[in-house]
Homo-oligomer: A and B are copies of this chain.
Amino acid sequence: MLSEHTINFRVRYSEADTMGYLHHSRFFQYFEIGRIELLRAAGHAYAELERQGVFFVVVKAEVRFKSPARFDDEVTLTTRIIHQTTVRIDHEYELKRGSTLLATAATTIACVGRDGKLCPIPDQLILR
A residues adjacent to B (C-beta < 8 A): 12-14, 16-21, 23-26, 28-29, 32-33, 36, 45-47, 50, 55, 57-65, 68, 70-72, 116
Contacts of A26 in B (CB 8 A): 25
CB of A29 within 8 A of CB of B25, answer yes
Please tell me which one of the listed residues B18, B60, B65, B72 contacts residue A13 in the complex, with CB atoms under 8 A apart.
B18
CB of B19 within 8 A of CB of A17, answer no
CB of A58 within 8 A of CB of B24, answer yes
Copies of this protein, total: 4
Least Cβ–Cβ distance between A74 and chain B, in angstroms: 11
Q: When chains A and B are docked, how far (Å) is the Cα of A32 from the Cα of B6?
A: 26
Least Cβ–Cβ distance between A107 and chain B, in angstroms: 9
